């Protein structure tokens, strides 16, 4: 079933999430992107963008997509078969935060009443810096680990949120955007601060909740120590033990 025509601003951060696959815990900054590429990382944002767009098409959403040409969204929109209008392009081959901010402003100037962006927390901050008040957004997840509450759970979930919004079944509300200090994060120190709020399409299932760090109290440290001692007591000779998070295996 077709839906009323709308104009969607679509912005892809082509290097979002590239650092996570090679253990860099983030993708902010040209040096980190270059290091990730040298380590063999492959961009993932384009694939996430196409998953999102293909789901929009499957749902029967008819709209014009406006954005920047090339890898910032134009390539993917045309490949999937949407009516795409370029409102600009990146200033150079390697895109920057400044390109994202300009793209947001140019999309809104062209009449986009909704912005979908593919990226992570850093991209969300760039969108917040540039967005006009009252224009709702939805984040298509492509970052390493997003703490902000402006991302759908999956690329397909982002498409479903837009579908439901255009049908009048989903509203927009202010949601948190967080800033993570990636330098400290790479040293296993989590430093997060509230950066601001974005008007975001909201649904308790389709939208990711914000992630906030757990404060470690003295009691919790004692509990951790007790658990460690118990594990040591249960260990046997001639066995190998690898304490780790759940993804190690």
216-237, pLDDT tens digit by residue? 445 556 656 667 766 776 788 7
CA atoms within 13 A on the CB side of 189: 5
Would strands 63-68 and 6-12 be described as parallel, antiparallel, or unpaired? parallel
3-state helix, strand, coil in the chain (%, to 5): 35, 20, 40
> What is the structure's pLDDT at 249?
46
> What is the structure's pLDDT at 211?
61
pTM score? 0.76
CB burial of residue 24 (10 Å; 0-12, 13-18, 19+):
buried
Domain-by-domain residue ranges, the chain?
7-202, 214-248
> Largest Cα–Cα distance in the chain?
69
> What is the structure's pLDDT at 245?
53
> What is the structure's pLDDT at 51?
98
What are the pLDDT digits (tens) for 26-64? Answer: 555 566 555 555 555 567 899 999 999 999 999 999 899
Mean pLDDT computed over 138-165: 93
Predicted confidence (pLDDT) at residue 202 exceeds the cutoff of 80: yes
CA dist., res. 202 & res. 176, Å (int): 12
> What is the structure's pLDDT at 196?
96
Residues 6+ apart with CB under 8 A from 175: 148, 149, 150, 197, 198, 199, 200, 202, 207, 210
CA dist., res. 155 & res. 146, Å (int): 14
Q: Is 99 or 20 the better-scoring residue by pLDDT?
A: 99
């Amino acid at each position: 079933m077709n839906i009323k025509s709308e104009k969607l601003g679509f912005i892809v951060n082509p290097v979002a999430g590239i650092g996570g696959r090679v253990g860099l815990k983030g993708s902010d900054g040209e040096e980190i992107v270059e290091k990730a590429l040298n380590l063999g990382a492959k961009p993932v944002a384009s694939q996430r963008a196409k998953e999102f767009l293909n789901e929009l098409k499957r749902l029967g959403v008819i709209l014009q997509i406006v954005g920047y040409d090339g890898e910032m969204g134009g390539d993917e929109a045309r490949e999937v078969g949407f009516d795409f209008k370029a409102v600009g392009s990146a200033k150079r081959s390697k895109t920057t935060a400044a390109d994202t901010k300009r793209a947001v402003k140019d999309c809104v100037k062209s009449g986009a009443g909704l912005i979908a962006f593919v990226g992570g927390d850093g991209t969300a901050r760039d969108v917040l810096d540039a967005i006009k008040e009252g224009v709702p957004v939805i984040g298509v997840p492509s970052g390493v680990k997003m703490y902000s509450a402006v991302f759908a759970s999956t690329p397909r979930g982002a498409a479903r949120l837009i579908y439901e919004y255009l049908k009048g079944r989903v509203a927009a509300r202010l949601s948190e955007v967080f800033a993570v200090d990636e330098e400290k994060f790479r040293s296993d120190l989590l430093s997060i601060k509230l950066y601001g709020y974005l008007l975001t399409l909201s649904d308790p299932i389709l939208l990711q909740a914000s992630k906030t760090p757990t404060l470690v109290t003295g009691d919790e440290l004692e509990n951790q120590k007790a658990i460690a001692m118990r594990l040591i007591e249960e260990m046997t000779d001639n066995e190998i033990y690898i304490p780790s998070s759940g993804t190690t295996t």
